[in-house]
Structure 1
């Protein structure tokens, strides 16, 4: 067969190696640029191997009143709370929908699918959250709007349960005396670890990269900013500082590591996701494949 052909296998490895290089080079260029002096970037452009290595960008970021560490802690709290709540709501919604005997199943399925097509818009949503639920300048403003539960995630979990958790297993647990919640916790959830890991990773990335909630719902409590909102404020302040000193005599813009700060901001923002992804890769691939293809 063609899969046993050594030449074909070698071509496969070469092709995959090229793809890996194409994926790694941008990240390497990003990291190396964050350690490059502003003068070298302006004069020679970006380089994979900087001539002069400097930590000025990171030194500047971590010297601003410890804001980076505080923003990291807030992002961890927001993402952790959001992911946990998202998983609870998603599983409690998806598990009943996987049962054929659920009364009104078609209505709830349509209600779920309808929210994927239509929404009230930004202004009505903002008014509901701020005037009815009063989440402005609270931690809930960073967790609830837009990220708490995804209909797509519910459909994936429902499909995974339908395809991989046999009803006979759940029925056997109930014969042994387990109720619905006991069967869910002891039987269904352990069998759904791949899709749960997938939803957890997707939800974590959504919370970690989100910055719109901070702009819309956090106005006075800037101490509640996550890492993305904090990095945006730092970048804005650097741009303002650069524009102010550009017209002053005796001060060279090249001395301010603005480009290096931008790259360092990107590295700081994406680092936790890069660290977490290898641990969830197996579950992510399996959960995406089974949860969205079968059924």
Structure 2
């Protein structure tokens, strides 16, 4: 039976969550409405939740090179899928190893992973290593590899989960029953760690999907390897260049008049985040399912 204090606590909790949800949803609605508002109307009247003049020209401008956009989407999907799977493989294997008390050099390895969270080599040494030593410039691996070696926080987070949330009695029982260490990891520890695996997988996937810096730095010639974020970034840079150099471009006033310079930014943001918004509800269900997985049975 709920007491009066419990009901008050639940009411306040629900009110706070509704307010936070409202704060998260309202900017998305404004972004979407601005992307379908006529560019000149948007410039003169500002942003509005109700388009005063409906227009899809910003999306038409983006998709007028349809094959390039579709190809960039394909690169992003492939990069996100491969990067997430490889990142989870590296993170879970290393975190499980570090969670074992008898691992030789465990403290040193844990400190080494933690140290990478405090200091980095910087952009210039990183660029020189990836291009001169590993030869990743203008390759698909230049988009994939950097994200695999910069996840020290994920490794320590998963290690803490293995140590604190998976009872040692379960893994010891599996080893006594004849399971190898890898079988114990894959059939016992990993299913019980589904909540943290889903969480880190979601973070890694979003990180790969939103990444534009690696493509901007390492893809100087292979524009066919541009992800959707790189392609949209290049498009907005071209528009900004034309806007800032009108006097130096012949017939620029005629061409710029047809470019949705403001609404296209909103449309690009929608195009970039739409797949994540659509997929997230299906991924989010894994959190609830993972929490209900087994534990120590009496």
Question: Same fold judged by TM-score > 0.5?
Answer: yes
Contact kept, 8 Å, 1:214 with 1:225, in 2: the verdict is yes
Match of 1:28 in 2: 29
* Mapped partners of 1:83, 1:110: distance in 2: 24
Shift of the 93–283 alpha-carbon distance from structure 1 to 2, 3 Å rule, reads same
Secondary structure of residue in 1 paired with 2:221: coil
Match of 1:291 in 2: none
Match of 1:292 in 2: none
The one of 268, 271, 274 aligned to 1:271: 274
1:216-255 equivalences in 2 (<5 Å): 216-243=217-244, 248=251, 251=254, 253=256, 255=258
TM-score by length of 2: 0.88
* Mapped partners of 2:170, 2:13: distance in 1: 41
Shift of the 120–250 alpha-carbon distance from structure 1 to 2, 3 Å rule, reads closer
1:164-175 equivalences in 2 (<5 Å): 164-175=165-176
TM-score by length of 1: 0.89
1:83-98 equivalences in 2 (<5 Å): 83-98=84-99
Secondary structure of residue in 2 paired with 1:102: coil
Q: CA deviation at 1:134?
A: 0.5
Match of 1:3 in 2: 5
Q: CA deviation at 1:229?
A: 0.6
1:183-202 equivalences in 2 (<5 Å): 183-202=184-203
Alignment length (residue pairs):
287
Over the residues paired in the alignment, what is the CA RMSD in angstroms?
A: 2.5
Contact kept, 8 Å, 2:86 with 2:148, in 1: the verdict is no
Contact kept, 8 Å, 2:192 with 2:290, in 1: the verdict is no
Q: CA deviation at 1:256?
A: 2.5
Shift of the 113–4 alpha-carbon distance from structure 1 to 2, 3 Å rule, reads closer
* Structure 2 residue 39 is matched with structure 1 residue 47: no
Contact kept, 8 Å, 1:37 with 1:52, in 2: the verdict is yes
* Mapped partners of 1:174, 1:57: distance in 2: 60
Structure 1 gaps, min length 5: 289-295
Contact kept, 8 Å, 2:246 with 2:253, in 1: the verdict is no
Q: CA deviation at 1:18?
A: 2.9
